[in-house]
Chains A and B, each alone.
Chain A
Amino acid sequence: NAGVTQTPKFQVLKTGQSMTLQCAQDMNHEYMSWYRQDPGMGLRLIHYSVGAGITDQGEVPNGYNVSRSTTEDFPLRLLSAAPSQTSVYFCASSSSEVGETQYFGPGTRLLVL
């Protein structure tokens, strides 16, 4: 199993550009989520999904969209990038079968100029 994979590893955007951060898992986990991590702060939940076709907002959803068309994939879209979205983004997946423990991907480092 590859676990949770994320692409790209690093991205530079200009203010106003859009992009999609990709996340995939091969563990058949029903739950997936996106977090951002900023220096001195804990991981903050952006959006999450409890299954294909079902998504909900987390703590900091503004400026981000998600969709979940399959169990495996959970892309995060930045509609119009802003410097405040410079961060490291982590995708995680979980299942009730593993005690709802969340398993994280390697992260995408995003710089918005």
Chain B
Amino acid sequence: EDQVTQSPEALRLQEGESSSLNCSYTVSGLRGLFWYRQDPGKGPEFLFTLYSAGEEKEKERLKATLTKKESFLHITAPKPEDSATYLCAVREGDSWGKLQFGAGTQVVVTP
């Protein structure tokens, strides 16, 4: 049973065309929700951590929000360099090792 589901699987955007990625989760006792960016052939790069519903974080053209059941990663006026796979992960309970990752959303931004 998937605990972390990301949608869509892939997203193709024109430069400047804003959009949102979704991460829904079913874990109880959420201890943190993490967003990562992964470029081809590289390791995931940390973007944001969200801890409680209503929390928002921003970095350049990216903004992450959190509700009790899902998180959104908003990409505003994207540029080609925003092309990457965006991964969502959740941590529940007391064991830091229990980090569940979604399968990711592959974003391609064309000029």
Contact = CB atoms under 8 A, between A and B. Distances in A.
Nearest to B36: A104
Interface in A32-77: 33, 35, 40-45, 48, 50, 56, 58
A103 B101 CA distance: 14
Q: Is the interface of B mostly helix, strand, loop or mixed?
A: strand
B87 A42 contact: yes
Interface in A86-102: 90, 92, 94, 99-102
Given A104-B45, A106-B43, A42 B101 contact: yes
A43 B96 contact: no
Nearest to B91: A100
B78 interface: no
Contacts of A44: 101
Interface in B33-52: 34, 36, 41-46, 49
A48 B32 contact: no
Interface of A: 4, 31, 33, 35, 40-45, 48, 50, 56, 58, 90, 92, 94, 99-107
